[in-house]
Structure 1
Amino acid sequence: MHRIIKNIFNKVLGEGSTKNVFKNMSILASGTGIAKIIGLAAMPFITRIYTPEHFGILAVFTAALVILLVFADMRYIVALLLPKSDELAFNLFILILSLIGLITLFCTIILLFYGELIFAFFNMVEITSYWWLLILGLAGASIFELLSQWAIRKKSFDVVAKTSVWQSVFSASAKIGLGLFGLKPIGLLIGVVLKKAGGILAFLKIFLKDFRNYWYKVTFKKIFFLLRYYKELPMYSLPSQFLLIVAGKIPVLYFAFQFGSNTTGQLGLAMTVIGIPIGLLGRSTGQAFYSEIARIGKDNSEKIYNLSINILKRLAIVSILPCTILLFGSPFLFQLIFGSEWYQAGLITSILTIYLFFQFLSLPFINILNVLNLQNIYFKINLSKILLATIPFTLSYFFEYEIYSTLILYTIFMSIYYTYSSYAIFSIIKPKQ
């Protein structure tokens, strides 16, 4: 699988930094690709074990978990690739790990005593009894992401790729195995937690020796310096990332409120399938691209611009095939692969694929703002996303639009957003004439 993907991308690599990005991307994409294939191969079994209502609960649980994850590290994690020395970076690592521990403890206390009220307020009563799984997911996924970023910093892209595969194996096995034993829908929820947190031990096995060596160079002085130096991350990146995540989960939250668990489950499966090309190519490119531009540095914006243009052109070529398949083949493929009761999910996927194309092209470039330390611009861009994402559902609520009209409107506004965000970022780094 690795050789196949690598050979495909070698034809569109280019040279220099562009080649480095796509070389590293091919390594990440190979692992992610195998993981996605495992997940996709398991889906026909999973969709026949669990009902759309179960998938509706899964969608709400995942939305809650992803929103909580925004606060786990206060966004200091995006700076882990930036320090020039590993010694300073490890001090930042310890700072982030401490924040994860404190935030997890805080969330545990809040959900233990007030969870029922909070879930009722946000119309998430279905997941009230699973609050403890949210805590496990919060801690596990946060630590995994921290270790994953450290691996990317150390250019250990093969390690990240391998852990992606094992995550998918653990997740699929849990969903199928627990479902067959009648543990529904908790089997789906445990599978999600394993998907986000599995692989921690693999990272520790590889990097524990490095951590022991760097541990003696950790000081409170350096930690507090980093806390202040990257203070714009919790000030701007945190709220902007929160807006970004909430904007992405608005469809699930609105559907759960307006259309019920069955339809929410159909939407959840559709968004899971759409996430396959995004996860396989978009995020792999984003990770490799971020690593490369962090190496280039913020003082060489012209080189970042030229690299970004090359990446954009090649992403446009790569995205054509998966988007075309999803656009025209989803209704038929969903019935064939997942079962006849998932036809609606196929129709939803066809509609959402239109904005998927624009999202795929824009996904890597938001990291440019982190390298240039333009967190205020990052916040404004994400604020525009939640505003544009809210409009279609507000109109749907007041004018009582049906499901497909709502999604078409959402697709139009999201296509506008991703086009605008890419244009804004490229305008910032474009060399002045």
Structure 2
Amino acid sequence: MRARSGSDTGNDTTSDDTTRRRHRAAPRHRRRVASSRRGVLNIAAGSAGGQVLLLLAAPVLARMYSPADFGVFAVLGTLAATLGAVASGRFELAVPLPERDREAHDLVAVGLVTALGTALAGTVVVLVARDGIAALFDQPALSSWLWLTPWTAAAMAAVQVLNQLAIRYRRYSAIGRRNFLQAGATLLTQLGAGLVGLRSGGMALGLGVGQAVGALSLLPGMRRRGADEDPGTHRRSLWRTALHHRRFPLLLAPSGLINVLGLQLPVLLIAYFYGSAVAGWFGLTQRVLAIPVALLGLAVAQVYLAELSRAARTGSGRAAALFLQASRQLGMVAAAGALLIVFAAPPAFAMVFGPEWSTSGSYVQALAVFTATQLVGSPLSQTLIVFGRQGLQLAWDVGRMILVAAAVTATALAGGSALAAVWAFGLSAAAAYGVSWLLSFHVVTTAHRHGPPRKPEPVPPTLAHSR
């Protein structure tokens, strides 16, 4: 038998070392997978509890508030969501990226201060222009409640900022608890406001209170820092952090505004063209369709962001696998949900919410395909941000906003019915989310084919070149 040479022996030793490393790495990988699954379950449990409360109370609210009341809420909630998307300067998107915890906490502080400044500036605008805004939508009741808009927007921004910090630390149970407390506070306030007669603004008041409670529930995470970090936060440090991450407000704030307008602008257009009752029917439709997105979409999105950011930072090469796994999970749920909506929505709405809300059942049916594509495309669109493709994200945001706004406007100007306008919105938005998935798939698979991505900088490149 031939004796093994020294080089052969060295190769065997190297092979044994490699095998041992693989065996040690396998349990770590299984622990990460198990942690991700627990994260989804924790977030989904909190979301499920809150959304079940809202679902059970929806018939009560539908009988407590009229379609016109829901119309006022649709406008106020839309304005708050639009402003809230950019109230923090989009600094929250940078929170999961820095390697140093101190820098992440500085970003949180900058985002919260920016949200407060936005609320103060928005209050001045409301004091000056509230009558004009109410007249634009032919809803005089708006004038008395527009003051809620900037402060609700600031609370929404605070939730986003603090939620990103919780994602960074994988505080999934805290996120789940926040989801439940936020929904519960919203519901209790809306029910209480309806009972005392605050019909036109009670729904919007509940939204603002719920967002504030959600932000407060996440505040304890602000105290957590790395062991080697100075716990003090100085104004000079915050200013340097804001300047260092200036690309987020300069590029992603316009992108975020355009992104939210892609969904919210059609609501305002429908309210403008078809009146408060139609806006109310459409508002209840959105409230019901938000439940599956909140139950699973947000849970998967937040865990996906945490795991994808980690994969990008460590260069593990798992980004493409994470993307496809999340796509499969979301796709199965989306397909089943769309079929259920198409066949069950119209009779269910009339039976559950009362005959005056039967029109909302037809609106839900018109938005079935859109809801399915949004459930899949929206969580996965974060891929573009993590891989530094902000320019591509901005291009998609602009395209979607133009597409859906043009679809609704053209339908209304052509004399189409409100239902036709809802169908136009749903189909155009569905097409846009299909394109979003394709773009994210292209980015993540291109990065995978060319090897693990470079360790991302605290600020991803503004316009990354195509690989």
Could you say what secondary structure the match of 1:72 adopts? coil
1:317 paired residue number: 332
Number of residue pairs aligned between Structure 1 and Structure 2: 419
Within 2, Cα distance between the matches of 1:429 and 1:106? 39
Point out the more displaced range, 242-251 or 403-412: 403-412
2:152 paired residue number: 137
Q: What is the CA distance between 1:217 and its match in structure 2?
A: 3.8
1:343 paired residue number: 358
Within 2, Cα distance between the matches of 1:21 and 1:251? 36
2:97 to 74, 77, 82: 82
Q: How does 1:99-114 map to 2 (within 5 A)?
A: 99-114=114-129
Aligned: 1:210 with 2:224: yes
Q: Is the 8 A contact 2:81 2:156 kept in 1?
A: no
Q: How does 1:174-213 map to 2 (within 5 A)?
A: 174-204=189-219, 206-207=220-221, 209-210=223-224
Q: Is the 8 A contact 1:76 1:233 kept in 2?
A: yes
Q: What is the CA distance between 1:231 and its match in structure 2?
A: 2.2
Within 2, Cα distance between the matches of 1:197 and 1:277? 23
TM-score under structure 1 length normalisation? 0.90
Point out the more displaced range, 31-40 or 334-343: 334-343
1:290-348, CA deviations, whole angstroms, 9 ceiling, x for partnerless residues?
A: 01111112574842112101211122122233322222111111112111111110110
Could you say what secondary structure the match of 1:185 adopts? helix
Any stretches of 5+ residues in structure 1 without a counterpart? 1-13
Within 1, Cα distance between the matches of 2:38 and 2:193? 38
Any stretches of 5+ residues in structure 2 without a counterpart? 1-28, 451-467
1:420 paired residue number: 435
1:231 paired residue number: 246
Within 2, Cα distance between the matches of 1:209 and 1:227? 20
2:318 paired residue number: 303
Within 2, Cα distance between the matches of 1:62 and 1:388? 22
Could you say what secondary structure the match of 1:198 adopts? helix
Q: What is the CA distance between 1:78 and its match in structure 2?
A: 0.8
Q: Is the 8 A contact 1:18 1:311 kept in 2?
A: no
Within 1, Cα distance between the matches of 2:231 and 2:444? 39
Task: Call closer, same or farther: CA 1:385–1:298 in 2, change over 3 Å.
Answer: farther
Q: Is the 8 A contact 1:298 1:372 kept in 2?
A: no
Q: What is the CA distance between 1:432 and its match in structure 2?
A: 3.7
Q: Is the 8 A contact 1:170 1:191 kept in 2?
A: yes
Q: Name which one, 1 or 2, has greater alpha-carbon Rg.
A: 2
Q: Is the 8 A contact 1:335 1:343 kept in 2?
A: yes
Residue identity matched to 2:439: A
Q: What is the CA distance between 1:261 and its match in structure 2?
A: 0.9
1:406 to 418, 421, 424: 421
Q: What is the CA distance between 1:363 and its match in structure 2?
A: 1.5
Q: Is the 8 A contact 1:65 1:137 kept in 2?
A: yes
Point out the more displaced range, 224-233 or 52-61: 224-233
Identity %: 22
Q: Is the 8 A contact 2:88 2:154 kept in 1?
A: no
Within 2, Cα distance between the matches of 1:225 and 1:192? 34
Task: Call closer, same or farther: CA 1:423–1:299 in 2, change over 3 Å.
Answer: farther
Q: What is the CA distance between 1:27 and its match in structure 2?
A: 1.2
Task: Call closer, same or farther: CA 1:73–1:208 in 2, change over 3 Å.
Answer: closer
- Greater per-residue helix proportion: 1
Aligned: 1:354 with 2:388: no
2:296 paired residue number: 281
Residue identity matched to 1:183: L
Residue identity matched to 1:403: A
Within 2, Cα distance between the matches of 1:123 and 1:200? 33
Residue identity matched to 2:298: R
Residue identity matched to 2:56: A
Aligned: 1:53 with 2:34: no
Q: Is the 8 A contact 1:87 1:217 kept in 2?
A: no
Point out the more displaced range, 40-49 or 392-401: 392-401
TM-score under structure 2 length normalisation? 0.84
Task: Call closer, same or farther: CA 1:432–1:208 in 2, change over 3 Å.
Answer: closer
Q: Is the 8 A contact 1:55 1:269 kept in 2?
A: yes
1:31 paired residue number: 46
Q: What is the CA distance between 1:26 and its match in structure 2?
A: 1.8
- Aligned Cα root-mean-square deviation (Å): 2.4
Task: Call closer, same or farther: CA 1:208–1:96 in 2, change over 3 Å.
Answer: closer
1:89-110, CA deviations, whole angstroms, 9 ceiling, x for partnerless residues?
A: 1111121122112222211222
2:408 paired residue number: 393
